[in-house]
Amino acid sequence: MTEDAPTPDDDHGVYGITVAAELVGMEVQSLRLYESRGLLRPSRTSGGTRRYSANDLTRLRRIAALIADGVNLTGIRLLLELQDENRRLRAQLARRPHGAASRG
CA–centroid distance for 83 within its chain:
11
The rounded distance, in Å, linking the Cα atoms of 33 and 27 is 10
Spans of all domains in the chain: 17-102
Region 15-40: mean pLDDT is 96
Compute the Cα dihedral for 86, 54, 75, 81 and give only its sign: positive
Contacts of 93 (CB under 8 A, 6+ apart): 101
CATH class of 17-102: mainly alpha
15 in Cβ contact with 57 (< 8 Å) = yes
The model's pLDDT over 36-46, given as tens digits with 9 standing for 90+, comes to: 999 999 999 99
- Considering the chain, what is the average pLDDT of its residues? 89
Query: Which of 63 and 5 is assigned the larger pLDDT?
Result: 63
Over 70: is that where the pLDDT of 88 sits? yes
